Amino acid sequence: MSHPKQEHLTDEHGADGSWETMMARVAKFHHKHDFANPVNNGHDMGYRIALMVEELGEFSAAITKGKPQEEAAEELADVLILTLGNALAMDIDLEEHFHKKMDRIMQRPSRRGGMGIRVTEYT
């Protein structure tokens, strides 16, 4: 199912709202740059985690500095692209695990902490 805000995306972007399309585009990116080659460290999880921290920091900065939503969205897209790439690098069916996790957390209670609401099984 496509997101309602995807109407502006044309076929050149390849956006159809499907998980398979996103994963295929990330896989094509990995293949283009030969990430799987050990010489490139593109699938080294230590390196990939460092990249995730870097991109999460850029997203955080966009939010805390009040940058335009488009800039924050681009940084958040970087986090998603890296997350999908992590699933490829680790040969994990992330869609399957996403749905399993959502099923589990939908059963959890929410609690209000010092900074806001939190959904957790821990007290």
pLDDT in tens, 33-69: 999 999 999 999 999 999 999 999 999 999 999 999 9
pLDDT number for residue 11: 54
CA distances from 77 to 82, 87, 107 (A): 9, 15, 28
Contact 21, 14 (CB under 8 A): yes
- Length of the chain equals 123
Of the listed ranges 11-20, 55-64, 86-95, the one predicted with least confidence: 11-20
The two tokens of residue 23 are 């994963």
* Rounded Cα distance, 91 and 73, in Å: 27
Please name which of 35, 80, 87, 38 lies closest in space to residue 59, comparing C-alpha atoms.
80
The two tokens of residue 56 are 């999460």
The pTM score is 0.83
pLDDT number for residue 1: 41
Q: What is the CATH number of domain 13-92?
A: 1.10.287
